[in-house]
Amino acid sequence: MVDITHKNNTLRKAIASAMVTVSKPETIDKIINKSIPKGDVFEFSRVAGLFAVKKTYDVIPDCHPLPVEYTNIRHHIEGLTIKIEVEVHTIYKTGVEVEAMHGAAITALTLYDMLKPIDKGIEISSIKLESKTGGKSDSKINSEMPINCAVIVCSDTISAGQNVDASGKYLAGKLEEMGCNMMHFDIIPDEAELIRASAQHFSDVGADLLIFVGGTGLSQRDVTPQAVAPLIEIDVPGIMERLRSYGQDRMPYAMFSRGISGFIKDTLVITLPGSQGAVKDAVQALFPHVFHVFKVRGGYRHE
């Protein structure tokens, strides 16, 4: 199966449908009157569909076992056609599209099985996904309003040429992939005055998002949070709460990060650890969902 350990749990929903068409009005009449010899076809097929949704991972090899937290199966009669709708919800790392379609397919097959003794001309058609929500696809940036970003790597050794930066370049590349406008990338020593000056500068020139990479650990030399904290005007603590929670699920030492997040003027400032693994975790944990903060703040400031 595909590795989904890096993904976030989010509310995910899917609606799938299937069509069952009978060949004569008498079949529909018997369904409505509940006079089909094998029983109430809607109730039997609904139960079969529920079982199918919950057992999808048993029969589709690449489907992950997941907590099915809501399923609703509906039947609509339209002439000689019965439209089946299956709605499935979960809070998990992957979607429930296949579960919904599997439920629709088995509901339709159960109808077929129960109706075929009285109608030999039944047809199943158009099993399809009607809609889905949840996951990163619902949190995209408006491409007409790109977010102006700056990434600053704080490291004495990298700025002195003794080490090579990987974390900052990775982050900048990912932000560009998500549609951000990378207005500046720099590497500076881990010195409080330089960090404060950078934070002040990019809040003055109108950056929407400023991310510092490095200097958030417990070492006495790590000064990024202390340098930035006095400039923060509006704290957004949930960003770091989310990052630490995500990180600690995967690596227990994430609890030691002292990263902070908040606004300096209209610039959202986030301080991240310096390791490439921690930055990769941050990208998965925070983006693109964190961009919603700009809508909460009343839209992008450069609209």
User: Is 113 a catalytic site residue?
Assistant: yes
The answer to whether 69 and 90 are in contact (CB under 8 A) is yes
pLDDT at 44: 97
The strand pair at 267-272 and 261-264 is best described as antiparallel
> Average pLDDT in the 32-41 region?
95
> Average pLDDT in the 77-100 region?
96
Is the model's pLDDT at 166 over the cut of 90?
Answer: yes
* Residue 302 pLDDT class (50, 70, 90 cuts): very low
Which of the following is catalytic: 40, 58, 113, 156?
113
Is the model's pLDDT at 253 over the cut of 80?
Answer: no
Could you give the CA distance from residue 159 to residue 215 in angstroms, rounded to a whole number?
Answer: 13
Could you give the CA distance from residue 93 to residue 249 in angstroms, rounded to a whole number?
Answer: 14
pLDDT at 174: 95
Would you state the structure tokens that stand for residue 276, as one six-digit string?
Answer: 């490439």
Could you give the CA distance from residue 291 to residue 268 in angstroms, rounded to a whole number?
Answer: 10
Q: What angle do CA 223, 227, 230 make, to 5 degrees?
A: 145
* Partner residues linked to 150 by β-bridges: 184, 210
pLDDT at 63: 95
Is the model's pLDDT at 105 over the cut of 70?
Answer: yes
Q: How far is CA 46 from CA 104, 108, 110, in A?
A: 9, 9, 9
Is the model's pLDDT at 303 over the cut of 70?
Answer: no
Q: How far is CA 121 from CA 23, 85, 96, 189, in A?
A: 5, 22, 32, 77
Question: Percentage of residues in the chain with pLDDT exceeding 90?
Answer: 75
Domain spanning 148-296, CATH class: alpha beta
The answer to whether 200 and 231 are in contact (CB under 8 A) is yes
- Domain 10-135: which CATH number of 3.40.50.300, 2.40.10.220, 3.30.70.890, 3.30.70.640: 3.30.70.640
Which residue blocks in 160-301 are alpha helix, DSSP H? Answer: 167-177, 192-204, 224-228, 237-250, 276-286, 292-296
> Average pLDDT in the 182-199 region?
94
pLDDT at 72: 98
Torsion of CA 37, 40, 46, 48, to 10 degrees: -30
Is the model's pLDDT at 138 over the cut of 70?
Answer: no
pLDDT at 140: 58
pLDDT at 127: 96
HSE-CB for 140 with a 13 A CA cutoff:
8
Q: DSSP secondary-structure letter at 136? A: G
Domain boundaries, the chain: 10-135, 148-296
SS3 at position 265: coil
Q: Which of 166, 195, 174, 207 is nearest to 301 (CA)?
A: 207
